[in-house]
Amino acid sequence: MTRSLPRIGLLITIIILATSVNMAAHQVLPSDTIHYQASIRATDPPVGPVRPVAEFEPTSHVMVRYPLGIPVALVAHLSHTTEVICLVSSTSQQNSATTSFNNGGVNMDKVTFMRVSTDSYWTRDYAPWFIIDGNDEFAVMDFVYNRPRPLDNQIPQYFANQEDYPYYAMPLQQTGGNYMTDGINIVAQTTLVYDENSSLGQTGVNNIMQQYMGAEVFYGIPDPNNTYIDHIDCWGKFLAPDKVLVRSVPTSHAQYNAIEQAANYFATRNCAWGYPWKVYRVNTPQNQPYSNSLIVNKKVFVPTMNSSHDAAALDVYRDALPGYEVIGVPGAYMTPWESTDALHCRTHEIPDREMLYISHQPLWGEQGLDEVFSINAQIKAYSGQPLYSDSLKVVYKVNRGEWQAELLQELGNGDFTTMLGGFAPGDTIRYFIHAADQSGRSLDHPFTGAWDTHMFYITPDQIPPTI
């Protein structure tokens, strides 16, 4: 008679299966459905004010892990767009990755290997989040990863030590696939974060996110997909401080009402610039993971599914982000894209800690017929290099006229201003702010520049002419 496996051996077998390094796709594993009770490690919160750094801000690196969950062709694309950090556990893995990357056309001059063991390729979920703290320093924000993958869970602290970042850790169970920010003061997550930190209550979670992440406004949104994972990147994505992408489905789809409620959640709230979110919809009738994309500077990498809906999905991104290059990326044969696990889940951007940053509260909507309008901005060159004074300007046009420019005048402490005027009732003014520094970096506010500007209009004349 065959002997039964001892209980201890069975337990070890289950653990090994649940945390296998070479998982082919994000299947529904035991580690995906349980609430993992890890010991909470935390630091004091950073000195404020804190600003969360958004995915769509300037990026210096993208973090991936080998063995890959993404096609080598995507690594090649990334290596010609920015730099790539590849996590490997050993010299043999690094050698294998190097061979694969060379064969796949990767620019190896842009690849850095980081020798550290991991449990999985879902860098989105376990890699560090980034803030700018009250000392005006880029810093790593850690959290307790909500999966029983201890090697993955130590990546943020390891990265901070290796790259010399200030390190903070919040006392929350979290996962990167369920986090997005506008880069100003809004953070959005599904209510999974409340479920996994239930002892704190919603107010407790919100307060911690405010203290550690600068989330002055916190969106806790019921997940509309009704799947096991409840990650916000499976159905939504911030594209800019005033733009959000939300999936759509036919009325016959089981989740139609819930998804429409999620879209309406944003449509009925104001972005940090003071007006309602611009909500873009991408059709996902067979649960295609089109929202699970990656923005790297002026490129957007979108997972495609060999579907008749792929082209329309890419066009939605082009409409929302004019001037950006939108690239469709098919999944790899051995690690295909899934509806709950695609390109965004398996990559993680690292912000450019020497970025150029512009803070500006735009003029928008209807404005009275003032003689002049003040345009104020704060401009920071985190490279430490001087700004080019002749690059600091507001570029604008009136109605369908030619582009004009007004130089910004420095007020001190990184504050700048200029005046626009001479407008007539009913005029529409489109404008953006431009800056450049001596590190070679340049930036527009909004990021789309002349392609999609800030806009306001002058109150039309309501007084009839005297005859």
- Which residue, 241, 439, 414, 413, is CA-closest to 355? 439
Beta carbons of 170 and 212 less than 8 angstroms apart: yes
Confidence of residue 312 (pLDDT cuts 50, 70, 90): very high
Is the model's pLDDT at 304 over the cut of 80?
yes
**Residue span of the structural domain in which 410 resides:** 356-458
d(CA 138, CA 134): 10
Report the pLDDT value the prediction gives residue 369, as an integer from 0 to 100: 87
Instruction: Tokens 């903070």: give the residue.
Output: 168
What is residue 465's predicted lDDT score, i.e. its pLDDT?
Answer: 61
**Helix (DSSP H) and strand (DSSP E) numbers for the chain:** 11, 27
* Burial bucket for residue 57 (CB in 10 Å: 0-12, 13-18, 19+): buried
For residues 321 and 404, state if they share a domain: no
For the residues of 71-113, what is the DSSP string, one character each? -HHHHHHHHTTSEEEEEESSHHHHHHHHHHHHHTT--GGGEEE
Which tokens is 35 given? 């609430």
- Say which of 86, 234, 271, 345 is annotated catalytic: 345
Provide the CATH number for the domain around residue 320: 3.75.10.10
Domain end call among 315, 331, 351: 351
Whether pTM > 0.85 for this model: the answer is: yes
Examine the domain organization and report whether 344 and 373 are in the same domain: no
Q: What CATH number is attached to the domain comprising 376?
A: 2.60.40.10
Q: Are residues 253 and 343 in the same domain?
A: yes
For 82-110, how does the pLDDT look when each residue is reduced to its tens digit (9 = 90+)? 999 999 999 999 999 999 999 999 999 99
Residue at token pair 């098919």: 330
Could you tell me if residue 127 is inside a domain?
yes
Do 399 and 367 share a structural domain? yes
pLDDT exceeds 70 at position 222: yes
The CA distance from 124 to 240, in Å, is 19
Residue ending a domain, choose from 316, 351, 386: 351
Report how many domains make up the chain. 2
Q: Containing H/E element for 8?
A: helix 7-18
Range list of H helices, 87-200: 91-103, 123-126, 150-153, 155-163, 192-195
In a domain, 381, yes or no: yes
**pLDDT tens digit sequence for 38-86:** 556 799 999 999 999 999 999 999 999 999 999 999 999 999 999 999 9
Mean pLDDT value across the chain: 93
CA distance 215 to 318: 29
Other CB atoms within a 10 A radius of the CB of residue 455 amount to 15
Q: How far apart are CA 446 and CA 362, in angstroms?
A: 9
**Does the pLDDT value for residue 172 go beyond 90?**
yes
pLDDT exceeds 80 at position 36? no
Q: Where does residue 156 rank: exposed (0-12), middle (13-18), buried (19+ CB within 10 A)?
A: buried
Tell me the per-residue pLDDT of 401-456, one tens digit each, with 9 for 90 and over.
Answer: 999 999 999 999 999 999 999 999 999 999 999 999 999 999 999 999 999 999 99
- The pLDDT assigned to 84 comes to 99
User: Cα separations (Å) of 37 from 105, 118, 126, 146, 198?
Assistant: 42, 19, 16, 8, 12
Share of the chain above pLDDT 70, in %: 90
Residue 169's φ and ψ, nearest 5 degrees, are -140, 125
Q: Does any domain span residue 463? A: no
Q: Examine the pLDDT at 123 and tell me if it is beyond 90.
A: yes
Same domain, 271 and 131: yes
Nearest CA among 296, 298, 290, 313 for reference residue 347: 296
Whether 101 is in a domain gets the answer yes
Q: Establish if 299 belongs to a structural domain.
A: yes
Query: Do 191 and 233 sit in the same domain of this protein?
Result: yes
Parallel, antiparallel, or unpaired: how do β-strands 217-221 and 111-115 relate?
unpaired
- Report how far residue 145's alpha carbon sits from residue 151's, in angstroms, rounded to the nearest whole number: 10
pLDDT, one tens digit per residue, over 229-270 is 999 999 999 999 999 999 999 999 999 999 999 999 999 999
Rounded to whole angstroms, the Cα distance separating 138 from 465 reads 58
- My answer on whether omega of the bond before 322 falls inside 30° of 0, hence cis, is no
Residues 341 and 428 in one domain: no
248 and 183 within one domain: yes
What's the pLDDT at 97?
A: 99
pLDDT at 19: 36
pLDDT for 33 beyond 90 = no
DSSP 389-410: GGG-EEEEEETT---EEEEPEE
271 catalytic per annotation: no
SS3 content of the chain, % helix, strand, coil (to 5): 25, 30, 45
- Any idea which residue has 């912000």 for tokens? 351
Question: Strand 51-52 and strand 236-240: pairing?
Answer: unpaired
pLDDT at 18: 37
Torsion sign (Cα): 191, 192, 197, 199:
positive
